[in-house]
Amino acid sequence: MSSNSLLIAGGGIAGLASALALVQRGHQVQVLEAAPAFEEIGAGIQLGPNATRRLAWLDLEAKLAQLAAQPEALAVHSAQTDRALARLPLGHRMSERYGAPYLCVHRVDLHRMLLDALMSHGGAVLECNARVDGIEVDADEVRVRCEDGRSFSADGLVGADGLWSRARTQVVANDAPPRASGHMAWRGLVQQAALPAALRRSQVDVWLGPRLHAVSYPVRGGAALNVVVIAETQIGELVDKPVETRDARSWDRPATLEALRRATGACCGSLQALLEAMPEWRAWSLHDRAPLASSAAVARGRVALVGDAAHPMLPYLAQGAGMAIEDAWALAGALQPSGSGSGNTRVVSSAVHGDVDVPAAWDAYARARWQRNARVQRRARRNGEIFHASGPMRLGRDAVLRSLGARVLDVPWLYSQ
């Protein structure tokens, strides 16, 4: 009885989810994390039923329920007047419709849950300070060299190293850098107990305005509120210290309420009050890549990409983490020997009988994933145009939302799979 040995570049959500899915199927995994520790930064993540379903298949359903919030609805408002535009019931309605819940979770909590599950399971070696410096691939193995001189070899490599991926260079030749979207994002987090009652939230609230939108939702079982504002603005307006705006790769810059106000202009009173209630703001510039055009940009030979390394997307469909989790499950399923049961069912601690042809498995994974990921990328870009519409397009959008409501907000093709 043997298994494949695999390297994973990147210890974020995509990398840890991939590692967990692989070790549960009996593979040997080493996770190479560039940072000094396996930690995560950021605030909230929305997880649709497509993502929570797969986390349940990874045997994480009970743990996820303990740390997440289950919002009762998604409510859309005008950012200028606070007028209600549309409402989509979530809560038990979403669970009944799709067989899995819609949850909101703190990014750090999700990362810690995956890390704890991986360490408890065993079968994975976690390497810190392992920044990838070079990759070599031949017919038999892949070799990774790190900046500190360490080297690792395995049957295959999973590139989970994010937007500025080094592993991507092995898959996409002469690749261009990620595209700066011209959209800037600010995030804030506050304990709900610190807010006046009128500002506390148990649902996902979205405000749409010309060239901007804002969203708030509960995390940490409802104890905290995550607020994100995205506006089309110049990077120089992002923070007060111009030198801090030069690192396009950073998504954790300190920012101020004054800078945010310059970008958004006047908003309705309730939204302004919520923005003013945040104890601090962090900010970053949004990048993406063109939607995938084929499976060739997802895997090549012994290297496969997951998450942002393969298909970074704008956050206007709230599916960045969801697609990474879907990738992780599909990747591990593709590496199952023929007939061993790689379908959409829970697999925990199964053993792999005999080595699997990694290049063939990675190719099958890429072919299974690229079209769905490309569709989400396209929809996210389109949503950004709709969310930030002005003039006649804004009026038409609002009229459609008021008349069709939940039928516009629900995404059956996404959540049902």
Count CA atoms closer than 13 A to 63's CA, side-chain side.
15
The first and second tokens of residue 51, run together, are 């993502």
Assess contact for 84 and 206: CB atoms under 8 A.
Answer: no
Neighbours of 93 (CB within 10 A): 14
Q: In whole angstroms, give the CA distance from residue 30 to residue 241.
A: 39
With tokens 């989400």, the residue in question is 376
Buried b / exposed e over 98-113, threshold 16 CB at 10 Å, is: bebbbbbbbbbbbbbb
Cβ contacts of residue 266 below 8 Å, gap of 6+? 80, 272
With tokens 């039923």, the residue in question is 49
Count CA atoms closer than 13 A to 227's CA, side-chain side.
26
* Catalytic-residue membership of 98: no
Helices (H) and strands (E) in the chain, counts: 12, 19
Q: Catalytic residue, from 217, 316, 365, 415: name it.
A: 217
Active site residues: 217
